[in-house]
């Protein structure tokens, strides 16, 4: 929605037809008057005025800046050395999904030609046709002995790997009728339960408790298409943080009931309307790291969770960083925590891997990894050794040992 469209809608709703005609005549073309997210020009201006009238005394601002500094100071320094020469493995197919399976010490790769590769000690030890049939695996997840495959048919498969590295299916759940946008596994420290959370193109977000089977415990229908989510425990409560398309308000849901608790604004300057979307969310100890759809370079916006406040929490932004990672409107955000959570890896469309120190807000590491786009990545812990694995459209898989 353009500014011209908002003004045209205001003139139309308030019965100024001649003014609207003159406005369109000066503009040169007819102007659409549909609203973005049902927000009119009046609503946006009133929101702006309400924000300006908030009592922000100097003491309050000092306290807020102090609290923000304390939160950011809680992030570790990026002090470890970084790799310069990775090991490289050539995979015949285009890798769509990757996952480090800690229990077996193996890297699992799913390709567009419906195969799964198992890599151990920088060598392919097993290759098999997709165990879920003729379906591309969008994402691979692992927890202890479990391996979960999320297919592009809306199903999630519970699998296991045997001593010969063969992956087999135990059971599955039809999580969504359409494509799964994102899926994650979460082990709750509050009740020690294992949960599967899925987000689909059918506008639904669902929570399953994983036992012998997948048991649906809650679901919620989104009003706007979801793009990404993250799960965290904060103040002894489990939350799901959801980002939506062309919307800069993060929705914070209670995990067990999926009831909306509040929203966090990623864009205090433009308020509820936006020109960008959250595309990837990471979270740790009340700190939310969001990779955005900004062009030509992805931005990293860091906000904080809070225990009390308004239904829309503003002034939560701790950092707004330029990742220097190029992207366009078709790009898929690809960011990942370092194991010690001192920073994030950003995988660029240009094949360059950038390590951002969240405390300093600077690009600390820059690795030239691939010839072209990096399609998938994952972080692994191999007996205390930190690994960062990247998979590019050049059909190379690289293991960066830190």
- pLDDT exceeds 70 at position 35: no
Residues 286-339: tens digit of each pLDDT: 899 999 999 899 999 999 987 667 788 888 888 899 999 999 888 888 999 988
pLDDT band at 118 (very low <50, low <70, confident <90, very high): very high
Task: Name the token pair of 309.
Answer: 């406040």
Other C-beta atoms within 10 Å of 268: how many?
13
CB-based contacts of 355, cutoff 8 Å, min separation 6: 78, 82, 338, 343, 344, 345, 346, 363, 364, 365, 366, 367
What pTM did the predictor assign? 0.79
Confidence of residue 27 (pLDDT cuts 50, 70, 90): confident
Domain boundaries, the chain: 3-63, 79-401
CA distances from 125 to 130, 147, 200 (A): 16, 17, 33
Q: How far apart are CA 256 and CA 85, in angstroms?
A: 44
What integer pLDDT is reported at residue 139 of this predicted model?
Answer: 95
Query: 149 to each of 96, 164, 242, 391, how far by Cα in Å?
Result: 12, 19, 21, 18
Mapped to the 3 state alphabet, what secondary structure does 166-213 carry?
CEEEEEEEECCCCCEEEEEEEECCCCCCEEEEEEECCCEEEEEEECCC
CATH architecture of 79-401: 7 Propeller (2.130)
Residue 384: the pLDDT is 76
Can you give the pLDDT at residue 308? Answer: 67
- pLDDT at position 348 over 70: yes
According to the model, what pLDDT value does residue 261 have? Answer: 93
At 216 the pLDDT is 96
State the average pLDDT over residues 91-105.
Answer: 92
CA atoms within 13 A on the CB side of 305: 26
Question: Considering the chain, what is the average pLDDT of its residues?
Answer: 85
Report pLDDT for 36: 60
95 pLDDT higher than 90: yes
Strands (E), 29-104: 87-90, 95-101
Of 30 and 352, the structure prediction assigns the larger pLDDT to 352
């Amino acid at each position: 929605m353009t500014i011209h469209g908002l003004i045209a809608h205001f003139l139309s709703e308030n019965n100024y037809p001649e003014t609207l005609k003159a406005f369109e005549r000066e503009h040169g073309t007819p102007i659409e008057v549909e609203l973005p997210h049902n927000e009119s020009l009046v609503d946006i201006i009133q929101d702006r005025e309400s924000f300006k009238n908030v009592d922000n005394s100097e003491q309050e601002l000092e306290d807020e800046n102090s609290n923000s500094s304390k939160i950011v100071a809680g992030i570790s320094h990026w002090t470890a050395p970084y790799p310069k020469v990775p090991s490289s493995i050539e995979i015949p197919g285009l890798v769509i999904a990757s996952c480090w399976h800690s229990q077996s010490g193996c890297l699992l790769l799913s390709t567009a030609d419906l195969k799964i590769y198992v890599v151990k000690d920088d060598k392919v030890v097993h290759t098999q046709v997709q165990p879920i049939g003729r379906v591309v695996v969008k994402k691979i997840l692992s927890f202890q002995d479990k391996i979960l495959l999320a297919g592009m048919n809306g199903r999630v498969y519970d699998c296991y790997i045997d001593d010969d590295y063969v992956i087999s299916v135990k059971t599955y759940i039809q999580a969504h009728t359409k494509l799964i946008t994102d899926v994650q596994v979460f082990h709750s420290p509050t009740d020690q339960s294992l949960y599967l959370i899925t987000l689909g193109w059918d506008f639904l977000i669902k929570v399953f408790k994983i036992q012998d089977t997948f048991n649906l415990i809650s679901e919620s229908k989104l009003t706007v298409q979801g793009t990404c989510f993250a799960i965290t425990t904060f103040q002894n409560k489990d939350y799901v943080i959801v980002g939506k398309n062309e919307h800069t308000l993060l929705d914070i849901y209670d995990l067990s009931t999926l009831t909306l608790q509040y929203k966090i604004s990623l864009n205090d300057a433009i308020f509820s309307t936006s020109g960008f979307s959250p595309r990837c969310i990471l979270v740790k100890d009340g700190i939310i790291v969001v990779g955005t759809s900004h062009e030509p370079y992805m931005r990293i916006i860091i906000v904080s969770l809070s225990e009390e406040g308004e239904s829309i929490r503003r002034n939560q932004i701790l950092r707004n960083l330029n990742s220097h990672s190029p992207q366009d409107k078709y790009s898929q955000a690809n960011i990942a925590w370092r194991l010690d959570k001192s920073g994030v890896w950003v995988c660029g469309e240009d094949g360059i891997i950038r390590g951002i120190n969240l405390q300093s807000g600077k690009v600390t590491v820059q690795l030239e990894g691939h010839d072209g786009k990096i399609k998938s990545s994952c972080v692994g812990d191999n007996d205390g050794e930190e690994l960062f694995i990247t998979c590019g459209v050049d059909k190379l898989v690289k293991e960066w040992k830190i």
